[in-house]
A = this chain, B = another copy of it.
Amino acid sequence: MQSPLPQRLKSARKLAKLTQEKLSNKLGFDDRSHGTARISQYETGKHAPDFAMAKKMADALGVPVAYLYCDEEKLADLILAASKLDENQLTMIIESISDL
């Protein structure tokens, strides 16, 4: 059972137009090359970040952390789209779903 995180992390990074090195900087790794190597390993699935690191990367990339763990394409698209909404808009969308 492969985690979707490697693929989602790469997509979110590309969406944010950041290189691995730029993301490493944003995450504040002391040793830049170590940070870049670590991100590369997360994207190949060689290492899996713990939740705290996943959350830090999600915040740096401007996506919900749940997106990184989403294994369904359409739901992942919905999570990204919904992340731009405010609470009222989210409530409205949830209500419209229950009306379907």
- State the A residues within 8 Å of B (CB): 1, 3, 5, 48, 50-52, 54-56, 64-72, 74-79, 81-85, 87, 89-91, 93-94, 96-98, 100
Contacts and interface: CB of A to CB of B under 8 A. Distances in A.
Contacts of A87: 74
The majority secondary structure among interface residues of chain A is helix
A65 B52 CA distance: 17
Contact of A66 (B55, B66, B90): B66
29 contacts: A1-B51, A1-B52, A48-B51, A51-B69, A64-B70, A64-B72, A64-B75, A65-B70, A65-B71, A66-B69, A66-B70, A66-B71, A66-B75, A69-B69, A74-B90, A75-B79, A75-B82, A75-B83, A78-B78, A78-B90, A78-B93, A79-B79, A81-B94, A81-B97, A82-B97, A84-B97, A85-B100, A89-B97, A93-B93
